[in-house]
């Protein structure tokens, strides 16, 4: 306990127990606490200002007066100011990490094998995720195949459109040519032209 806190305790006990000053208003200057007060001129000055007097080897307060309470208030203010200006205690250092347990030769070998397998799996995953780069010749062949496939698809679409056109013409003739029959019709599916009666006999059969 610092000297200022000791003065505060003496004054606080005296003010709080003003009816029993024979016990709480008397300090033996030869004792441990009294010896610390006697060695501090500032502490002795505060206590005498509060009304304490020296009687032989004792410091005695006969009665609590206004000066006693005023001095107590002063000590309280000084303690608050001292606490506010005191630096915060440094944080306790972090405990040192416990050393890793030493592995046996077999355990170390197993750990090395697991690490090697893990790295091999990562390498395989990276290889799968990266497409193989084609050579110039391979890229040219790939482009040609894609172009041929596109041309073939377009040709099939054109052939289908032509066939649909011929079928549509055939349907039109069936509906509109009164002389149409299966014998006079060509085979649209084989690409033969459809000839109507007028195509086969001429515009005027009587001429």
Taking the model in full, what pTM does it have?
Answer: 0.41
Mean predicted confidence (pLDDT) in 75-98: 75
199's tokens: 């195509």
Of all residues in the chain, the percent with pLDDT exceeding 90 is 23
* Per-residue three-class SS string for 168-195: HHHHHHHHHCCCCCCCCCCCHHHCCCCC
Element (H, E) at 59: strand 58-61
- pLDDT for 182-196, tens place per residue? 655 555 444 555 555
**HEC assignment per residue over 127-146:** HHHCCCCCCHHHHHHHHHHH
Give the pLDDT confidence of 100-153 residue by residue, as tens digits: 778 888 888 898 999 999 999 988 887 776 666 677 788 888 888 888 888 888
The SS3 assignment for 205 reads coil
Give the span between the Cα atoms of 147 and 143, in whole angstroms: 6
């Amino acid at each position: 306990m610092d000297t200022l806190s000791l003065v505060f305790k003496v004054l606080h006990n005296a003010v709080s127990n003003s009816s029993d000053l024979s016990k709480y208003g008397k300090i033996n200057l030869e004792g441990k606490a009294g010896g610390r007060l006697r060695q501090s001129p500032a502490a002795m000055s505060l206590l005498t200002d509060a009304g304490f007097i020296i009687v032989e080897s004792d410091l005695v307060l006969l009665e609590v007066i206004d000066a006693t309470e005023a001095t107590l208030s002063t000590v309280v203010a000084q303690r608050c100011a001292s606490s506010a200006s005191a630096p915060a205690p440094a944080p306790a250092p972090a405990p040192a990490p416990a050393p890793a347990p030493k592995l046996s030769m077999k355990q170390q070998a197993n750990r090395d094998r697991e690490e090697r397998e893990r790295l091999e799996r990562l390498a395989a995953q990276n290889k799968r995720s990266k497409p193989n780069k084609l050579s110039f010749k391979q890229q040219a062949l790939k482009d040609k195949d894609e172009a041929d496939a596109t041309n073939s698809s377009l040709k099939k679409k054109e052939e289908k459109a032509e066939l649909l056109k011929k079928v549509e013409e055939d349907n039109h003739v069936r509906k509109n040519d009164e002389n149409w029959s299966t014998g006079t019709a060509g085979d649209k599916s084989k690409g033969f032209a459809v000839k109507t009666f007028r195509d086969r006999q001429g515009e005027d059969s009587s001429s």
